[in-house]
Every structure is written in structure tokens, then in C-alpha cells.
Chains A and B, each alone.
Chain A
């Protein structure tokens, strides 16, 4: 079936199978491979994208349910060649090792900061609890989110 979805500000008409997840459409149909497959059951967060302003696990969402809801992926965070403050903060804290989880961590962090601009360490841990970093860089990720929060305070970046 043909559906129209909006991803990173662009409209795409795609032919999808009803069984196809949003993750599969993003990666295989649109070539947006920054969003990763990790578990297929919404338990690792590697596939996290924004639907509207909420972080969702794109591996558990049928592609057609994204119709009408703007999707933002890791590829959509940069503006005018500038990284999003969360991306800058992940680099500054070196909050990754293999970095396979990083896209999902960053997207979940962006959603958190939109809802809670000045999160505590506990807020961060709670919001990212479904995101797994198997390399164990969690403390650095918490530090990166706090750094990003500090850097955007007063800033109205999207």
C-alpha cells in the first residue's frame, strides 16, 4: 500500500507492506540508516526516533501509523551544518564506544530535553532506561545530556 510520511521535514510517498515497521521503512526504503535495529521489541532503544516531539521505538511501530505524524531521525538534527547541542555534548563527553546505540540515545535525549529542559541525573536515567549501551558508557551519556541542557538553557533551538 502507498502511504505518505513526513521525515526530517520532507514528504515521502512509499510503497509499504502492512507488516513493515517504521524502522524498516526508514532504513530500507528511505536509506536513513542512522536509526539502528537492536532488538526488534522496543527493549534496547537503538531505533529511537521522534514522532512529533515524543521518542518512540521505530522497530515496534507499523509504518502506516506514522502517517500524519512528523518523524525526526538522527539525520534530521543538524541545522545549517551545525550539530544539535546534544550531538555536540556527546562528542565533548565522548559518550560512546562502538556508538551503535548513539543515534537512539541522542534522539531519546532530545525528546527528554524538550519535555524537561533541566533534567536531574535521575530524570535522565528514567527517561533513557529503555536505551541500552552494551559498552557501558551510561555515566558519560548522563554527563552529555546535562552538558547539553546547560548549553541550550535560554536557547530556543528546535
Chain B
């Protein structure tokens, strides 16, 4: 057996055995994916592991010229199966139809930290471009050898190397046929500048669209294998409850039902879904509630403010306790400021509600080489889940293979492998394939949430209309985008992790949404206080040209400020920078003064994420982020008390629907002179504060709590001003 670094995927040697001959190009990075710099969320690599020589991507060209790219990234609807292939096709000079991606398979793809943090485009995209460009250079060199000519005289297009002077050409596959050639990526390989792109940079249609509209695509939850068992896991009645007693007699007497009881883990497997459900219903369990009196959704904000996290926070946490960021003398500047404003903002726990719930199919096999477990599951971190599974079943991680079929969304909510671990444990015990599909209710109760948080902001503005002092204290939401993009001379910015009573973790854009809600709401109030137009106030206070540019472009397209002000109509703007993306959103709302019902009538977002790889895909992501943002802005919130989620189903937890969607206008800023950055997250973060400002413009009510109008505006306003 080949020993290898615990984080590694397939070794190059094993890989070559699998793919046979052809050209294999691998990207080797000695300090690959410098983990500490990337460890914004969970999934930090243990410190004692030096990466020897890590491979982060590879590409294979077979004798027919078919290009296969191997990456540990996964497709959840964000469109990277298409956009990454475009970048490869571009650099390799092959048609899109020649390129296919193998994604998120721990046996076939190199190690990857996970698909999160808007990193697929800036990092994996760039790496794959380098891999593909290296392959192209090698193919040109092979052709030059073949023809005994000078490589610099040769050109590449359509998957062929051409010698224009002698009018001859040869296909990539022919060049490598019958041979195995490996090549490492050179650091200095020349990439095609974005200004010259012809495949990347275009609205290439989504790969696999036909299978998506015909129902042929197999999500994990759709998979079936012979002799498969359906499993249901017994859940406690409240968070943290422990099993006191179990009577499984009735379930065990059912035909072909196996009951697994290992500590607090109790599950049934049966040949059909209804049989599993019946067996689960026949279990008689008693539970001991967790000690103490946990807070409820009504008193959560006081609790978070006054309950700091224990020193070691567990997995699923975003960041850790942070030292305050301090610049200048904030106390003196606040005292001296002619205009000063202090407010507190709150954000509720919300659920991701990925339409495909957690699901896994685990298959246990045994051969001369030992036991193996293969798990298909929808997770954003296949390698981390492989390690979770290996630990749970007590097997070495190279005996566990995790495969991620293109998945029914995640939004940061599928970093973990609960269903995978459950299915694997049961497959190992029953020695049969086992499928676990969580119900919607299980998703609501036992997955994790976007953190709730409390944010205090205290700011001062000088007589010149410049923000001169700024303190920002965030309890529990997280540190993402916590520092203002405004170059404020005196500031103190602090993240205070709290002890969360609910399980919490990543959510699209992390705490950038909460921090922008507080910051940009406050900035709009400051503008009002000093009687300067909110767009002019931002332009006056911002110095970053790209951020100023999106503010101006959003305002121009919106027709700022327009004429809809007061008497139930209003407009607002907000902006921000995060993860390489610049965003500004203008919103128009209408408020029914009788019912308090808030409608977002119109939203205009200008977005700059550098050179755009796929404009149509980008528009889809931006509009989708805005729609998802509507829920968190206006009405989504988890209600809980006594360690029980009270609205654990879709009839009680409101998500945005057709009637909630505003007219959306997206302004793309294509900066071909700038590196391509991710776009899945950042466009969500300016919507809520823009809407809050628009509500004020419409009603003169300031709402400082997310969601702003769960039961109409008046209720929200009362809660927000508490």
C-alpha cells in the first residue's frame, strides 16, 4: 500500500495506472493552498502536517484528444463545472465539448480544502489555467520534435498543433498516443490575458443542462443500488438530550429490519422506505434533556452579548476570538465629533434550506486488500468528510472514498458529513449498501444555522461630512468583512465570539451580511444626520476607486434618487467589498401602512469581480444571491425555545417565493485588467442594508433587526428598537 500524507487524494502513480497513456499534467505546489491563510472557516489542517509536495489539480489528455480535468471542487449549482472547463478550453485551445471535469472524488481527484469562500474561480480557476497552458506548451514541443521544426513557429487551435508554413497539423491525441508523458506545471508558464479570451469570458451554456431539465441527473438522494437498505436515525426530542433508555424489541421483530444502537446513535435499516419509517416509529426511547435553561429566540441577543465562547470553539465555527483592530484614538475622536450616533443591530439565526436535504449512500465492500467504504454524498468538503467517515467507522482514510455527485445546493450549509457518517456506520454494521436521506424537518433541527448576532456601532462625523470615528463590536456573527471599507482615521473593530445555544456555521458570505447590515445601515443614518445624500455621502467617504465605481454605476442605473420617497415608497443604497468582489445595491420598497407589509419593488446591483469568466452564469449568481438575501432581510428567522426549534418545516419557515421577488437589474463591471474573483457570496451582502434605508425613506422608521418584517413592519420596528 502506498503511504501518503493524510490530506492527499490519489497519488500520481495510482492515477496513471487508472488512466493509462496520454499526457498527464499536474500542478505541484510545495506550500500548496497555504492552509493558514485560507482557514477562514472550519477545516483547518492539523498543524503538525507539513505538506510534502502537494498536487492540487491535474489534467489528462487521452489518445483521442479527450481532456479530463481532475479537481476536488464540487458543483452545487454555482456553475463551476462550466466556468472551470471554459478556462481550461481557453488555455488549451480545445473546444468546450472536449473537456470534462471529474470533481469531488477523493480517490480520483487531488486533495482540496473544500468548495467555499468564493475560491473556485480565483484559485482553482487560475491553477487550471496554468495546468492547461503547460499542457499546451508541452504539446507544441512534442509536435516540434515530431516534425523536427522550431516550436515557436507552431500554433494551436481546435485541439490541434498546426505548422502554418508547411500547412500540416496534428491532433493532441495523436501526439501522445501510446505514450505516457507526465509534466509538472512551471511557475512561469504564460497565461492567456483575459483581454484575449474567446471561450472564457463568454456566456457558455451550462454543462449538463439537458440532464438537469429531464430529471436524468442523479443527485445523491436519487441513487439506488441492488440490495440497498433505507435507514432512519432516531433523533432526540431536544438539542443536547441524551438517551436514557431504549426498547427496540418491536422494531427488531419486523422482517429484515436491523436496529443499530451505539451510545446515543440509534438507527434502523430496512428494505424499503416505509418499512424503515415503521421501524423508527416502533422504537421506544426515553431521553434526558440537557441540563440548564437554554435561551430562546426571544432573549437570544442578551444571551449572546453576555455569554462569551469558551476558549476552544468547536468545528463549524467561523474564525475565533480576535484582537480588536485599532487605528488612531477612537475615544478622543468620538468625543470631539460634532455629530455622533450609537445604535445596536441584531441578526437572527437562519437556515440554509438547501432544497436537496442531506443525503448519503454508503457501500461497504471487502476483498483481499481489506475493507472499503465508498460514500456518495452532497458535501462541500469531500476530503474532510472522508476523514470524518474514516474516524467514525475506525478505518484508515485511504480505505474510505467519498464521491460528490453534483448536488442540490448548499450555500455554506453542507460543510459537514452527518448523513455520510450515518450511512457509513450503518453500511459497516449491516454489510449492505445503506441510504440516508434527511427529511426537511431533520434539516431544520439537526443541521447548522447562520449565526445570530448583536452588533454595536458608535460613530462620529466631522463638520466636513467625513466619518472620523468608528467603533464596531460584533457578538457572535463572525469577523467576515468586519472592517469598514471607509478609510476612517480612528476606529476600533472587535469580534466577540459567543457561546451559541444552536449549532452554527458557514452561510453564504458568512458574517459579511450581518456586518454590512449594521455598517451600511449606520452609514445611511449618518448621512441623514448630516443631511447629505446617501450616495454622495458614500462617495465622499470612500477612496477605493473600484468601490466608488460600483456605487456610481448602481446609482446611475437605478436613476438615483428618483421621485418615490415617503408615503410608503422609498429608496436606499448600500455597498461593500469582500473576497475580491465590489458590490453596490440600490433598493426600492413599498410599505403598506395598514398591514406593515414590505415589498421590495426593485433592486439594482452593480458588481465587479475582475475579469468575468461567464457573464450569464455571473448574472444568475448575482440575481440568486439577491433573491436569497430577500429572505434574511425581511422574514427568515429560526424560532426556538427549551432547546427545540419551533418552526422546523417550510409551512412555518418562510423562504422567498415568486411573489417576493423584486424586479432585478444587474450591472456587470467586467475588469479584464484584473484577476477573476469569486461571485457566489458577495452580491448578497448589500441588499439588507439597502432595503433598511429604503424602509426609512418610505416610513421614517429605522429597523435595526434582521429579519426586518417577519410579521409586517410594526412588529419588527418594535423589536429593533428594544
Query: Do the two chains belong together in a single complex?
Result: yes
Check A83–B355 contact: CB distance below 8 A.
no
Q: Does B332 reach chain A (CB closer than 8 Å)?
A: no
**Which parts of B276-304 form the interface with A (CB within 8 Å)?**
277-278
Q: Nearest-CB distance from A63 to chain B (Å)?
A: 10
Check B658–A44 contact: CB distance below 8 A.
no
CB neighbours of A101 from chain B (8 A)? 355
Q: Does B214 reach chain A (CB closer than 8 Å)?
A: yes
Please, what's the 1-or-0 string for A45-78, where 1 marks a CB less than 8 Å from any CB in chain B? 0100000000000000000000000000111011
Q: Nearest-CB distance from A78 to chain B (Å)?
A: 7
Q: Nearest-CB distance from A76 to chain B (Å)?
A: 10
* Listed A/B pairs (20) with beta-carbon separation below 8 Å: A19-B277, A33-B215, A39-B650, A43-B650, A44-B440, A87-B214, A94-B620, A97-B624, A98-B408, A99-B217, A100-B219, A102-B212, A125-B659, A129-B658, A130-B657, A134-B655, A135-B409, A138-B661, A139-B664, A142-B658
CB neighbours of A74 from chain B (8 A)? 214-215
Please, what's the 1-or-0 string for A116-158, where 1 marks a CB less than 8 Å from any CB in chain B? 0000000011101111111111111110000000000000000
CB neighbours of B407 from chain A (8 A)? 98
Compute how far the CA of A40 lies from the CA of B648 in the bound complex, rounded to whole angstroms: 12
Q: Which residue of A lies closest to B627 (CB)?
A: A136
Compute how far the CA of A131 lies from the CA of B76 in the bound complex, rounded to whole angstroms: 19
Number of B residues near A (Cβ < 8 Å) is 60
Q: Does B171 reach chain A (CB closer than 8 Å)?
A: no
Question: Nearest 4 pairs between A and B by C-beta?
Answer: A34-B215, A136-B627, A98-B77, A100-B408
Check B272–A132 contact: CB distance below 8 A.
no
Q: Which residue of B lies closest to A99 (CB)?
A: B212
CB neighbours of A75 from chain B (8 A)? 214-215
**Which parts of A1-57 form the interface with B (CB within 8 Å)?**
17, 19-20, 24, 27-28, 31-41, 43-44, 46
CB neighbours of B621 from chain A (8 A)? 97
Q: Does A111 reach chain B (CB closer than 8 Å)?
A: no
CB neighbours of A136 from chain B (8 A)? 623-628, 656, 661
Identify A103's interface contact among B77, B215, B353, CB under 8 A: B215
Q: Which residue of B lies closest to A86 (CB)?
A: B213
Stretch from B203-211, B362-370, B472-480, B668-676 at the A interface: B203-211
Q: Does A113 reach chain B (CB closer than 8 Å)?
A: no
Q: With A100-B408, A102-B212, A135-B409 as given contacts, are A91 and B205 in contact (CB-CB < 8 Å)?
A: yes
Q: Does B616 reach chain A (CB closer than 8 Å)?
A: yes
Identify A39's interface contact among B224, B437, B440, CB under 8 A: B440
Q: With A98-B408, A128-B658, A129-B659 as given contacts, are A134 and B354 in contact (CB-CB < 8 Å)?
A: yes
Chain A interface size, as a band, is 35 or more
CB neighbours of A32 from chain B (8 A)? 215
CB neighbours of A78 from chain B (8 A)? 214
CB neighbours of A141 from chain B (8 A)? 658
Give the interface centre of A90, A94, A98, A125 by most chain B CB atoms within 10 Å: A98
Compute how far the CA of A39 lies from the CA of B275 in the bound complex, rounded to whole angstroms: 20
CB neighbours of A100 from chain B (8 A)? 77, 219, 354-356, 408-409
Compute how far the CA of A98 lies from the CA of B620 in the bound complex, rounded to whole angstroms: 11
Check A98–B356 contact: CB distance below 8 A.
yes
Check A36–B221 contact: CB distance below 8 A.
yes
**Residues of A bordering B, CB below 8 Å:** 17, 19-20, 24, 27-28, 31-41, 43-44, 46, 73-75, 77-78, 83, 87, 90-91, 94, 96-103, 106, 124-126, 128-142
Compute how far the CA of A102 lies from the CA of B411 in the bound complex, rounded to whole angstroms: 18
Compute how far the CA of A142 lies from the CA of B658 in the bound complex, rounded to whole angstroms: 9
Q: Which residue of B lies closest to A35 (CB)?
A: B215
Q: Other than A24-B273, A128-B658, A132-B657, give 12 A-B pairs with Cβ distance below 8 A.
A: A36-B219, A36-B408, A43-B651, A44-B440, A44-B650, A75-B214, A96-B206, A96-B213, A99-B408, A100-B77, A133-B355, A138-B656
Give the interface centre of B215, B621, B649 by most chain A CB atoms within 10 Å: B215
Q: With A43-B650, A44-B650 as given contacts, are A99 and B440 in contact (CB-CB < 8 Å)?
A: no
Identify B651's interface contact among A17, A41, A90, A126, CB under 8 A: A41
Check A140–B620 contact: CB distance below 8 A.
yes
Q: With A132-B650, A134-B409 as given contacts, are A99 and B221 in contact (CB-CB < 8 Å)?
A: no
Q: With A134-B628, A136-B628 as given contacts, are A83 and B77 in contact (CB-CB < 8 Å)?
A: no
Q: Nearest-CB distance from B129 to chain A (Å)?
A: 24
CB neighbours of A99 from chain B (8 A)? 77, 212-213, 217, 408
CB neighbours of A46 from chain B (8 A)? 355
Identify B272's interface contact among A28, A90, A96, A138, CB under 8 A: A28
Q: Does B274 reach chain A (CB closer than 8 Å)?
A: yes
Q: Which residue of B lies closest to A18 (CB)?
A: B274
Q: With A41-B651, A73-B215 as given contacts, are A98 and B409 in contact (CB-CB < 8 Å)?
A: yes
Check A137–B620 contact: CB distance below 8 A.
yes
Q: Does B439 reach chain A (CB closer than 8 Å)?
A: yes
Identify A94's interface contact among B209, B357, B655, CB under 8 A: B209
CB neighbours of B620 from chain A (8 A)? 94, 97, 137, 140
Q: Does B192 reach chain A (CB closer than 8 Å)?
A: no
Q: With A74-B215, A83-B214, A100-B356 as given contacts, are A125 and B409 in contact (CB-CB < 8 Å)?
A: no
Check A94–B616 contact: CB distance below 8 A.
yes
Check B409–A132 contact: CB distance below 8 A.
no
Check B213–A33 contact: CB distance below 8 A.
no
Check A94–B215 contact: CB distance below 8 A.
no
Q: With A37-B437, A97-B77 as given contacts, are A83 and B658 in contact (CB-CB < 8 Å)?
A: no
Q: Nearest-CB distance from A28 to chain B (Å)?
A: 6
Q: Nearest-CB distance from B667 to chain A (Å)?
A: 15
Q: Does B319 reach chain A (CB closer than 8 Å)?
A: no
CB neighbours of A19 from chain B (8 A)? 274, 277-278
Check A96–B212 contact: CB distance below 8 A.
yes
Compute how far the CA of A35 lies from the CA of B406 in the bound complex, rounded to whole angstroms: 16
Q: Which residue of B lies closest to A31 (CB)?
A: B224
Q: Nearest-CB distance from B135 to chain A (Å)?
A: 29
CB neighbours of B657 from chain A (8 A)? 129-132, 138
Compute how far the CA of A101 lies from the CA of B624 in the bound complex, rounded to whole angstroms: 14
Compute how far the CA of A142 lies from the CA of B662 in the bound complex, rounded to whole angstroms: 13
Q: With A44-B650, A87-B213, A94-B620 as given contacts, are A138 and B224 in contact (CB-CB < 8 Å)?
A: no
Check B355–A134 contact: CB distance below 8 A.
yes
CB neighbours of B245 from chain A (8 A)? none
Check B649–A41 contact: CB distance below 8 A.
yes
Q: Nearest-CB distance from B618 to chain A (Å)?
A: 11
Check B440–A36 contact: CB distance below 8 A.
no
Check A34–B273 contact: CB distance below 8 A.
no
CB neighbours of B346 from chain A (8 A)? none
Check A94–B206 contact: CB distance below 8 A.
yes
Give the interface centre of A75, A97, A125 by most chain B CB atoms within 10 Å: A97
Check B79–A97 contact: CB distance below 8 A.
yes
Q: Nearest-CB distance from A26 to chain B (Å)?
A: 11
CB neighbours of B355 from chain A (8 A)? 36, 38, 44, 46, 98, 100-101, 132-134
Q: Which residue of B lies closest to A19 (CB)?
A: B274
